[in-house]
Chain A
Amino acid sequence: MLKVITERIKQGYRTIPFPAGEMPQLPERYRGLPVIDSSKCPDGCAKCVEACPTDAITIDGDMKIDLGRCLFCTDCMDACPEGAIEYTPDFRLATSTREGLIIDGKAFELAQSIDEKSRRIFGRSLQLRQVSAGGCNGCEADINVLGTVVFDLGRFGIHIVASPRHADGLIVTGPVTQNMKLALEKTYAATPAPKFVIAVGACAISGGPFIDHDEQNNGCDSIVPVDMYIPGCPPHPLTILDGILRLLGRIEGNER
């Protein structure tokens, strides 16, 4: 027992104050919300469009990036001769709508919280069931991290539960493979209403790297209604936490 206590003292207190206090510092090379400067684009140049592995970029007059497809890789930046695309360190990426993920370099609207009545029900206690439906287990790993002492999801009254019967909503990851489609439908049906669905990661939003494969369904919103989209490949744990707290109205607007 003494050994445990000694070790506990050495390991220290590790929970981050987020969302209170200063914004957590992410590494300099971290790739968060991209910014676009279409004015730098030479006429007819589409090098970024050609380079993007998931066809997330379109140029129709102005350049647009679909964050739902974006893998946050460097391929577009590397291809661009003018530096028109850059990543910022802003990890706040969750939106309430699929269209909201399509950015054009102007204002980016972060997710809205649920209505006042739902907030009274779920604001201080939200039980979520996770369904992993394809993908690479990266998003699952970074959801799991929220349970560690660093993020301590439990302090917000949010837990991942072991049955859909105990859940207020689903966190879905993966493009929804054909082999997982039925299991997702059944899990959704088994969750009592009112309920939410949060789609985490490029796969669950659009199919991600597996877009248009016959073996999957290009994400979960063709199968279950989605209330929140959290993009990334995988999203940083802070991005996911920020999203869930916004859903509950515990972070609002551009507040940090």
Chain B
Amino acid sequence: MTVLAEYVRTLNGKPVALADVPVVPMEVFRETLKEQLARTSSELSALFGVPVDSEGVRVYAVVSDGASSEITICATDVGQRYPALTPYITQAHWFERELAEQWGVVPEGHPWLKPIRFHRSYRHGQDAWGRVVGDRILPCVQPVGTDYFKVRGDEIHEVAVGPVHAGVIEPGHFRFQCHGEHVFTLEIELGYQHRGIERRLIGGPDKRTLHYMETLAGDTSIGHATAYSQLIEGLSGSEAPLRAQAIRVAALELERLANHTGDLGALAGDVGYLPTLSFCGRIRGDFLNATGLICGNRFGRGLIRPGGVAFDLDDAMTADLQKRLTAAHRDVTGAANLLWSSGSVMARFENTGQVSLETTKALGIIGMAGRASGNDRDVRRDVPSGYYRFAQIPVSTWHTGDAFARAYVRHLEIQRSCHYLLEHLPEVPGGKLRRDVGPIQADAIAVSLVEGWRGEICHVALTDSEGKFAHYKVIDPSFHNWIGLAMSLRDQQISDFPLCNKSFNLSYCGHDL
């Protein structure tokens, strides 16, 4: 008897023929995933459904392994309902809610099956909650499928916040179950930013595709555009010139610096410490302006293109960047050090919103927030692509999992990104900026991973027989991490919510798509 492989192996950005992805029975699929994810170096990067015919949905699972730098893909077919994976594989919980919402498939035995974005099922008439076509879907208040955690008893009360928040913030809805100041649970409901991007990517790439990538999450324009470009290059069997790869990494690190700096300032603001708030607000702008210097747009719009980059660095610009970065590095370090030496700040940061390593691993919390709980994962080192294969940036972790840890990991990453840029900007390799990308491989699947400033960005493309996107999946790091924010609020004070929220600073639009 021939034993067939349960999954196919590939590398970051490298396509495999769709026919080579084994489609296994559900029990085998589940056991394979359980076994793979038992390794501490592995993580569930994607789990999503693709309709195969009018009857069924094929579920693909993508696992990335930091120890081998390999990506594995496996698949299984499900009908209207199937036994949920979440009871065995906790990190599948949000993915299965998405699967149910998009394709009307019911994962039976899912502990908390609710919509995540509040839109109609993509399969006409198939709805996981039995909602009727034509019924208005009201986000977060619609009765079917939108129960909330409830705590009952004397003096228990519920606090509801959002969708419109007090500052200049994206919309989302938060429900706290409280006893006085004490929070038992927080539940987060999103979907207000849902603008239907994934569905519009099918049939592409076309003239709007790249612009969708740059606006999946505006603060991660460079991260998502890089993940997409890498995917297109992989699918067309080409590679961006080395010079372009080095400029992409510089842009990614500038994006990280701007956001981390802004967050340190906002964290200071949330505990009422105004000096660092004021300083970092300005320094964040200095990093954004550095990106603006390279490509004309502070968020890096227009810089990253499939096949390379659209703007070059010249000697004068490199010298200017060096000068700006040296100054900004000094300023941000000075502003951050005020935090660590201020007792009133540390008293609020330490032990607030702790998330254990165990919870982090179980729920698949990744990126900077994961590293602050000791989850030693970083795509730049573990599953590297582009210029990160040649120039390494040390991974920063901390072990306490509290708001302090999430602030301090940002500080460490700021140091390392600044050192990297100051060292490597003058040594950007010569050569071309851009190469033509050839035709896209037909009937293939490819996975592209990039460490954005929040964490792992995962894009998966499936192509049809003509080399067009038959399916395109985007997983912003926020998709994994919103549950981390909910966990961090358990047994905290409700007044700690702004601090905990900012310590994760997750993307609503990156989640809602």
A residues at B contact (CB < 8 Å): 3-4, 7-8, 10-11, 14, 26-31, 50-54, 71-75, 87, 130-145, 147-150, 160, 162-163, 174-175, 177, 179-180, 182-183, 187, 208-210, 213-216, 233-234, 236
Contacts and interface: CB of A to CB of B under 8 A. Distances in A.
Contacts of B507: 137
B118 A148 contact: no
Interface stretch (B6-14, B17-25, B50-58, B273-281): B273-281
Interface residues of B, number: 61
Given A135-B193, A138-B218, A51 B207 contact: yes
A135 B330 CA distance: 34
Contacts of B197: 210
Contact of A174 (B119, B193, B221, B311): B193
Contact of A10 (B170, B216, B334): B334
A29 B311 contact: yes
Given A137-B217, A177-B192, A54 B295 contact: no
A162 B166 contact: yes
Given A131-B164, A175-B195, A27 B215 contact: no
Interface string B303-344: 000000011000000000000000000110011001001000
Given A14-B282, A130-B168, A210-B215, 18 more contacts: A7-B335, A27-B293, A50-B207, A53-B210, A73-B301, A132-B170, A135-B193, A135-B218, A148-B281, A177-B194, A179-B139, A180-B192, A209-B208, A209-B211, A209-B215, A210-B196, A214-B196, A234-B218
A71 B301 CA distance: 9
A142 B292 CA distance: 13
A213 B171 contact: no
A138 B207 contact: no
Contacts of B311: 29
A137 B219 contact: yes
A14 B293 CA distance: 19
A210 B169 contact: no
A29 B139 CA distance: 41
Nearest to A236: B298
Contacts of B194: 134, 177, 179, 215
B308 to A, nearest CB: 13
B338 A148 contact: no
Nearest to A11: B279
Nearest to B197: A210
Contacts of B275: 4, 7-8
B167 interface: yes
Given A11-B334, A209-B215, A215-B196, A54 B208 contact: yes
13 contacts: A10-B331, A11-B334, A31-B302, A54-B208, A74-B310, A131-B164, A138-B219, A145-B281, A179-B118, A179-B192, A209-B208, A209-B214, A213-B200
Contacts of B219: 137-138, 141
Counting chain B CB atoms within 10 Å of each CB, the highest count among A136, A137, A214 belongs to A136
B296 A71 contact: no
A218 B8 CA distance: 43
B420 interface: no
A25 to B, nearest CB: 11
Given A71-B211, A215-B196, A149 B281 contact: yes
B154 to A, nearest CB: 31
B250 to A, nearest CB: 15
B281 A150 contact: yes
A33 to B, nearest CB: 13
Contacts of B192: 133-134, 177, 179-180, 183
A72 B296 CA distance: 10
Contacts of B295: 29
Contacts of A75: 207
Contacts of B207: 50-53, 75
B292 A27 contact: yes
Contact of A53 (B119, B169, B208): B208
Interchain residue pairs A-B with the least CB separation, the first 9: A138-B218, A148-B281, A29-B296, A136-B218, A162-B166, A215-B196, A136-B215, A179-B139, A53-B208
